[in-house]
Amino acid sequence: MTSPRPLDLVLVWHLHQPDYRDHASGEFVLPWVYLHAIKDYTDMAWHLEHHPGMRAVVNLVPVLVDQLDDYADQITSGKPRDPLLRLLAHDAAHALSAPERALISDRCLSVDYLAIIRHYPRYKHLYDLLRLFEARGQAALAYLSDQVFYDALIWYHLAWTGETVRRESELVTRLMAIGEHFTPQHRGELFRLIGDLLCGVVGRYARLAAAGRIELSTTPHTHPLAPLLLDFSSAREAQPNAPLPESEEYPGGRARVLAQLRAALDSHALRFGANPRGLWPAEGSVSDSLLRVLGGSGLGWVASGEQVLANSLRAAGRPAEDRSGYLYRPYRVGAAPELSVFFRDDRLSDQIGFEYQKWYGSDAAANFVGELERIAAQAPPHERPLVSVILDGENAWEHYPYNGFYFLEALYQALQSHPSIRPTTYAAFLQETAKGGAAAAVSYAATHELERLVAGSWVHGNFATWIGSGDKNRAWDLLCAAKQSFDLVSASGRLDAGRSAEAVRQLADCESSDWFWWFGDYNPGASVASFDQLFRMKLAHLYRLIDLPVPAALAEPISHGRGEPEGGGSMRRSSAAGDTQSAG
């Protein structure tokens, strides 16, 4: 019987949320950072901690870690600046105001979360009760007691706890059993548990990295679409007829990309005590111009999507039909020969991101391992394939039973015990290959050369998700106008050092790719409205910081959503191959 062919697997979990803070007030506008922290980031750390033979890359975007640190400070000070957490921390004597009741109703009893609510009969009862009173008119809601709303607030947070938290926390189990008529003491206990989770989550990943169990990588600080900041016309490398913004370029784009990169590298070194070896560019977006910026930064690797590689090979007149013949190896590109460039297996990544949620966890894990074995069997002779599976570590799990617990348990156990599949990291792989290759008969995947990259992202190999439509291009023009004003005021010397630093930070927030992701009528109306408003609010605050009037255009919505996409818009199926992409 033939022994299984060896294979290296690099599994990359990308953890990211944009900056949801209103820096004018210090308030958090949306709660997604702390909710994902108590559910997904906590669960993902737990699974890695409990499988000592597992290796993975965890990409922590600095703006996410900034916000996690901010939440930890809020908990420590006892002064929460997130409105939902503040309600949870209210004392016994606090009667809810009409806006507070409306906030709980909108956030905790929204129809958008019915898929989650319906799993908990007592939570569903509260939802049905609200709908019943709403049907009688808004005035009827005044007859509901504060207790109804406080119970909904508790259930909302219980439903957002990670599966590993539920299995280990006596408090969560007890509160779920009580089910109703929660007391201020219960709210306080839950607030303290959430605080413990928030204060500890980044440290858990730091300890895993210090123990050599994971590699921590980074992304430019606020997750900007760097190739577009460098050159709008890069969008036409993959889509020659793509419409572009009226602005010819993003003013000072190269300096901004360098500043975003330096901020990320400095932040990573300060928090984790070492420089990152690798970088996942926002949205896996790459171009030759970006690689030239990254060259000389001390990084060893970057990664992108499979379609970017296929487009680049075809542009060079090289075949790109048989994936086994080109995908599972590192590349060096002429623009930055010191960097190793890895490319994601889109199909396998999207199996986890979209398809395996429909399977039993053990069956899904077995299928994934079988796919890896098939890749190994089809590899070129005497070459050990390196498979890159890269996806976000947060959006998929709410669609899995038990937040993906059984799938991840089965997957990690199968991978760490497999005789020929080796989970590793990019840093470890590069270190080993630098020593001269493997001692075994089958060598590591050899590095191949690419003359140039066709600019693109992990979503279909292009930038259409962020630029090209009327609303997305209008958003770019609004950002360009704000940047031109920022440059003029900065050059005038009118801002003192403190105000200038605030304005630079605010500009960086406005450069995030996330705002552009959500513009589009194919996205849900509520999501488009909230991200649209947050983007315009951030631009308006930038104008105020540089002492200029806020343009009237920022009072008008940029985009209107009418779609009902799969995954709520944070995940997107590829029409070309039935695959799925995720915001990140």
Q: How many CB atoms lie within 10 A of CB 419?
A: 8
Task: Considering only residues 565 and 278, tell me which one the structure prediction assigns the higher pLDDT.
Answer: 278
pLDDT tens per residue, range 445-463: 889 999 999 999 999 999 9
The predicted model scores a pTM of 0.95
For 190-204, what is the mean pLDDT? 98
Q: What is the average pLDDT score of the chain?
A: 93
Q: How many CB atoms lie within 10 A of CB 52?
A: 11
Contacts of 319 (CB under 8 A, 6+ apart): 313, 325, 326
How many residues are present in the chain? Answer: 584
Instruction: Find out whether 212 and 54 touch, Cβ atoms under 8 Å.
Output: no
pLDDT computed for residue 1 by the predictor: 45
Angle between helices 42-49 and 405-417 (to 10 degrees): 30
| Structural domain spans, the chain | 7-19+45-60+211-223+251-458, 67-206
Task: Considering only residues 256 and 91, tell me which one the structure prediction assigns the higher pLDDT.
Answer: 256
Instruction: Find out whether 473 and 297 touch, Cβ atoms under 8 Å.
Output: no
The proportion of the chain whose per-residue pLDDT surpasses 90, expressed as a percent, equals 87
pLDDT higher than threshold 50 for residue 581: no
Point out which residues pair with 279 in neighbouring strands: 218, 302
Contacts of 228 (CB under 8 A, 6+ apart): 234, 235, 250, 285, 463, 466, 467, 476
Q: How many CA atoms lie within 13 A of 273 on its CB side?
A: 6
Question: Counting Cβ atoms within 10 Å, is residue 484 exposed (0-12), middle (13-18) or buried (19+)?
Answer: middle
Point out which residues pair with 21 in neighbouring strands: 28
pLDDT computed for residue 574 by the predictor: 42
pLDDT tens per residue, range 91-121: 877 899 999 999 999 999 987 788 889 999 9
**pLDDT bracket for residue 576 (50, 70, 90):** very low
pLDDT computed for residue 339 by the predictor: 98
CATH classification (class only), 7-19+45-60+211-223+251-458: alpha beta
pLDDT tens per residue, range 317-331: 998 889 999 999 999
Please name the residue that has the structure tokens 């000072």. Answer: 252
Q: Supply the Cα-derived Rg of the chain in whole angstroms.
A: 24
Contacts of 564 (CB under 8 A, 6+ apart): 524
pLDDT computed for residue 91 by the predictor: 80
pLDDT tens per residue, range 489-508: 999 999 999 999 999 999 99
pLDDT computed for residue 436 by the predictor: 72
CA dist 68 and 555 (Å) reads 30
Q: Which two tokens stand for residue 529?
A: 């409205």
Closest-CA residue to 419 (of 440, 398, 393) = 440
pLDDT computed for residue 437 by the predictor: 54
What is the greatest pairwise CA distance in the chain?
Answer: 77
Among the ranges given (52-61, 86-95, 426-435, 463-472), the one the predictor scored with the smallest mean pLDDT: 86-95
**pLDDT bracket for residue 582 (50, 70, 90):** very low
Point out which residues pair with 203 in neighbouring strands: none
pLDDT higher than threshold 60 for residue 149: yes
CA dist 390 and 217 (Å) reads 12
Question: Counting Cβ atoms within 10 Å, is residue 194 exposed (0-12), middle (13-18) or buried (19+)?
Answer: buried
Instruction: Find out whether 15 and 57 touch, Cβ atoms under 8 Å.
Output: no
pLDDT tens per residue, range 375-417: 999 998 888 999 999 999 999 999 999 999 999 999 999 999 9
pLDDT computed for residue 575 by the predictor: 42
Q: Which two tokens stand for residue 323?
A: 């994936």
Please name the residue that has the structure tokens 């219980």. Answer: 158
pLDDT computed for residue 321 by the predictor: 84
Q: Which two tokens stand for residue 68?
A: 């996690």
pLDDT higher than threshold 70 for residue 247: yes
Q: How many CB atoms lie within 10 A of CB 374?
A: 12
CA dist 351 and 387 (Å) reads 14
The proportion of the chain whose per-residue pLDDT surpasses 70, expressed as a percent, equals 95
For 363-371, what is the mean pLDDT? 98
Point out which residues pair with 11 in neighbouring strands: 389
For 544-565, what is the mean pLDDT? 93
